[in-house]
Structure 1
Amino acid sequence: MYMENIKDILEKNNFSFELIHNDIPIHTAKEGADYFKIDIAQIAPTLIIYTNVGFYVLIISGGRGHVDFKEVKHLLNCKNVRMATKDEVKLITGFSVGNVPMFGIPLPYIVDKRLLKFSFVCGGLGEKNTTLKVDPNILLKLNKVIAILD
């Protein structure tokens, strides 16, 4: 159901995209890069982070390898930042960890600047074993982006 909504939004806005049904589950950026035979930096995991001022969606480049919480704290000007727990992710987004979509979560977004240099990135669509291949600039157009990670 959710996937259809995203497809409709992308089509209505004439954004080019591709839905890819994976033969295998993809759990890490490295697995995604190997599976799609692309640069690991083009893999765009959607993470939920918790801060003392609320939850945020963080779409990060797989090339980073990890979240720099110090950088996120500085960017958001807040004291505490951590990854949301599996239960929090499910409660806040309605999706399980690993299936959080790149679009449509009603939270503020932070997007990794590194993703924007590519013609396409691959990330979640809210459905198991389905990947969305899309122009990363769409992330800025369709989400409530409040910060860009340098």
Structure 2
Amino acid sequence: MEKLVHFLQENQVQFEILGHEKPIVSAQDGADLFGIKLGQTAPTLILKNDEEYAALIISGDYGRVDFAGLAQKLGLNKLKLAKPQEVEEFTGFTIGCVPLLGHGLPVILDSKLFRYEWIFGGTGVPEATLKIKPSEVERLNRVIARL
């Protein structure tokens, strides 16, 4: 997480790291813990197409993702969630902990996140959450598409 904090400071980002005693296992858990709207939670899901990976940063209230429709929008044959083992092997992070920034993957970003001034997502460690503006998440990632 030190690397993430350094990256944010280096890029002059306004942010806050929120520590908590136990990992957050669902968007609803995060919303309850921080007293925020479900849509402000921003889990980072890792998607796979053949051997290529991408990060999907999605609003906690997005609902069910249409992977076939998303694949079509991106001009891909198919797209699916990476398996937990693949996520850890490829990113170095466990599912539920993948950071919003610094993972090096192309990003598909949910436009619904821009309804909020602040969103809350992963830092790379289970007991910490990043509070950041969605515009900064967009600016500091290589966004290849928006939902």
Q: Secondary structure at 2:54's aligned position in 1? A: strand
Q: Determine the C-alpha separation between the residues in 1 that align with 2:63 and 2:87.
A: 20
Structure 1 length normalisation: TM-score? 0.92
Find the counterpart in structure 2 of residue 85 from structure 1: 83
State the Cα RMSD in Å. 1.3
Q: Which residue among 18, 21, 33 is the counterpart of 2:19?
A: 21
Find the counterpart in structure 1 of residue 43 from structure 2: 45
Amino acid in the other structure paired with 2:70: V
1:107 aligns with 2:89: no
Find the counterpart in structure 2 of residue 97 from structure 1: 95
Find the counterpart in structure 1 of residue 121 from structure 2: 123
Find the counterpart in structure 1 of residue 131 from structure 2: 133
Amino acid in the other structure paired with 1:94: G
How far apart are 1:131 and its partner, in Å?
A: 0.3
Unaligned runs of 5+ in 1: none
How far apart are 1:52 and its partner, in Å?
A: 3.4
Q: Determine the C-alpha separation between the residues in 2 that align with 1:23 and 1:16.
A: 24
Identity %: 39
Q: Secondary structure at 1:131's aligned position in 2? A: strand
Find the counterpart in structure 2 of residue 56 from structure 1: 54
Amino acid in the other structure paired with 2:111: K
How far apart are 1:13 and its partner, in Å?
A: 2.2
Amino acid in the other structure paired with 1:23: E
How far apart are 1:139 and its partner, in Å?
A: 1.1
Aligned positions, number: 147
How far apart are 1:78 and its partner, in Å?
A: 1.1
Judge which range, 90-99 or 67-76, deviates more: 67-76
Structure 2 length normalisation: TM-score? 0.94
Find the counterpart in structure 1 of residue 7 from structure 2: 9
